[in-house]
Amino acid sequence: MHNIEVRDSTLLCLITLLFATCQKDAPATLVKENWRVITIAPSTAANIQALGLSNVMVGVSEWCPVDTFQDLPRVGGLGAPSLERISELNPNVVIVQGRQDVLEKYCQQNGVFFKSFTTDSLESWRQEMDWLGAAFDCQDNAANLVKKFDGQLAKLNPNHLSKPCLLVASRKNFDVADLLVAAQQSFLNELLVAAGGINVVAEDTDYVYLQEELLPELNPHIIFELHESEAETRALTIWKKYFGNITAVGDNQVYSIFNPQALMPGPNMIETARTMSEIIQRQKLVQ
């Protein structure tokens, strides 16, 4: 009888330990107040700032461009977040863009609420804003921001030109190479369409690396280069060196759009759309 009791006691301890471990690794519940938020997602940081929630932030990613958060601690990027730094900041909410298994596991083990977005279209941005509004008790503010953006976007001239445009998200410095361009499923393409343009890249994805030898065949009439800083100011000169036979280059229609948030789906998207619209409409006037 004694041996049976020992075995039963040991089994009960093992079950209790297993239950406690499972409980510890379970996703945490989002707190309703006293938020301490870290986001390794620059676009989400911009959305949080726009919602008037700057006071809930305690840390941001290494490359967060939002001026309001420039003095906040940096916790690395999505590829290599600093768990030590995150632990020091004692967050109760961590938000990322994309997948980060190590950080998600860390949050589960430490009772931190973890949220991952995949915001790469206007609709997914609206959904993110809706979630942030509900999560942080500012639904009306979130709804108003989305409504304002949609209204501003609708006011842009919707008439399309029969000229193709190329949206360059990045390329090799001082060379037209390693071209990362926006395709049909990117929010940049949606902004271009709203501005009255047609994307020369027909792939049904968000971004693609474009083979440079395809440029003469695609022959864009307007090239938009989007930059987060003004480091690159010689875009037209560089394009003339390598692809002077492209219509956009020959007609001096290569434009650099400088905006710290140009490549981020957030409230400042309207500024990019307006810039593209103004350039496209100027093209329409000279026809």
pLDDT tens-digit map of 51-92? 999 999 999 999 898 999 999 999 999 999 999 999 999 999
**Structure token pair of residue 259:** 């905006």
**182 in Cβ contact with 206 (< 8 Å):** yes
- For residue 218, how far is the Cα from the chain centroid? 27
pLDDT at 16 over 90: no
**What would the pLDDT profile of 187-234 be if each residue is shown by its tens digit?**
999 999 999 999 999 999 999 999 999 999 999 999 999 976 655 558
Residue with tokens 């036979």: 245
Q: What is the pLDDT of residue 13?
A: 45
**How many C-beta atoms surround the C-beta of residue 120 within 10 A?**
19
Under DSSP, the state recorded for 91 is -
Segment 91-95 mean pLDDT: 97
Burial (CB count <10 Å: 0-12, 13-18, 19+), residue 195: buried
Segment 245-266 mean pLDDT: 91
pTM above threshold 0.75: yes
pLDDT mean across residues, the chain: 88
**Structure token pair of residue 58:** 């305690």
pLDDT at 170 over 70: yes
Domains of the chain (ranges, CATH numbers): 37-153 (3.40.50.1980), 157-285 (3.40.50.1980)
**How many C-beta atoms surround the C-beta of residue 260 within 10 A?**
17
